[in-house]
Structure formats: C-alpha cells, structure tokens
Amino acid sequence: MGKKQSGISVTVDAIVFGYEKNEGVSVLLIKRKYDPFKDNWALPGGFVLEDESLEEAVKRELQEETGIKVNYLEQLYSFGAPNRDPRQRIISIAYLALVKTALFVELKADTDASSVQWFNIDNLPRLAFDHKLILEKAVQRVRAKVRYEPIGFELLDKKFSFADLEKLYMSLLGRDIDRRNFRKKMMGLEILDELDEWAKPEGAGRPSKMFRFNKTRYEQLQQEGILFEI
C-alpha cells in the first residue's frame, strides 16, 4: 500500500466484476486487515504513490491485495465527500474492471487484506467507507454500457453458446430479455463467428452451436458509424 501524504490524499478503488454462468455476476471484495473498518469487507484499493499514475496504482493494489491482473480497466468516477474517510480528507478515483472469474479460482490476499472473496452482486456484505455507493455507481455504469458497447464479451470464454450469451446479458442487466429480438440484433450485427463446434448439452438438452466474438468486425462497424445497441 502506498504512503499516506499530508493534506488531501488520493486513493484508487477497484470494482472488479466477474461472471460465471451458474453463479451470475460477482464483485471482488477484500476483508480489511487494519483500522479503520478492520475486518470489514471493502473494495480493493489504496493510496497512490508519488511516482505512479492512477492506472498503475490501481493495478498494483489489485496485484498486492488480491493477486489478480486485469485487462479491461476504465475510470468510473471520483468520490470526494469531506468525511468519507475517518482518517483525513481523501479523494478516491474508482476504476471498473471486468474479468473471467474462472481464471482466478485461487485468489491471494496480502498486504492490507486478510481475505479476498467473490460475492454475488445481489448478496453483498456490509461494506466499509462509502464503498456501497461506489459499487452502486459501478453497477449502473455496467448496466448502461453493456447496451451500447460489447463489454460483456470480456466476461465470457473465447468460445460460447448463444444460451451462455443470453444468460450473461440477463445477469448484467438484472432482468429478462426478449430472446428472439436479442438474437436477431446480435446476429444482424455479424459480430459473432459461428464455429464448427458444439456445446455439451446441459441435462437432457440438445447440443448447441458455439460462437466467438469477432472484435475486428466490431471495430470495423465502429469506423463505419454503425452503433452496437441491445
């Protein structure tokens, strides 16, 4: 964890969302090892060092406190209420990350974290500081952004069935979707490559075709001014 500076200090917090088709959308939390809020669950994060950028700081804190590295990272919002931290005036820059939880079966708590764990976003513990507010803002951002950018593919395996894609979107949006309309829109964009592979059926179901996200095609659509909208 970086050293605290005099006056107003700057921290970073990371809202890391993961997805597993049987568990839904989860967020990565740490249990704080020290006061304030010792033994309470919180978002990973800490103070920014003088010689690092904000993005470097959030990546370092994630590595130190949870043992994970992230590929998709975007700045969410800044939180600077005067009394948000009982120690001193602290402004936090929050970052949003998306990862495949299957890649991080073994998490490693270290430095300021005594434990690290995935929690379903619909079944969260009480959070330290103003982290409940930060997490709510992150959920709002993801639910809005998933409708006009294909960020959901960051959470899926490289190869997936269409049923997996539907489950992901329903989990991210927190509601049911019109499956027929959803499929029509997705296939109409031609950003999914149909593979000559079949998914193993669940229970008595039939095998289903596997797909892969065509990022090159999506970037071409962007250049042509065609909007991704679900």
Residues above pLDDT 70, as percent of the chain: 93
pLDDT of residue 62: 94
pLDDT of residue 112: 84
- Is the bond preceding residue 36 a cis peptide, omega within 30 degrees? yes
Per-residue pLDDT at 202 exceeds 80: no
Q: What contacts 66, CB < 8 A, 6 or more positions away? A: 16, 28, 30, 44, 107, 108, 109, 113, 116
Class of domain 9-134: alpha beta
Among the ranges given (69-73, 90-94, 133-137), the one the predictor scored with the smallest mean pLDDT: 69-73
**Rounded CA Rg of the chain:** 19
Closest to 13 (Cα-Cα) out of 134, 98, 126, 183: 134
pLDDT of residue 13: 98
pLDDT of residue 183: 94
Residues of the chain with CATH 1.10.10.10: 151-223
Q: How far is CA 31 from CA 19, 36, 112, in A?
A: 21, 12, 8
Per-residue pLDDT at 6 exceeds 90: no
Which listed CATH number (3.40.50.1820, 2.30.30.30, 1.10.10.10, 3.30.460.10) goes with 151-223?
1.10.10.10
Gap between the Cα atoms of 24 and 106, Å rounded? 18
Residues of the chain with CATH 3.90.79.10: 9-134
Scored b (16 or more CB within 10 A) or e, 130-167 reads: bbeebbebbbebbeeebeeebbbbbbbeeebbbebbbb
Closest to 156 (Cα-Cα) out of 202, 213, 215, 205: 213
Residue scoring higher pLDDT (211 or 201):
211
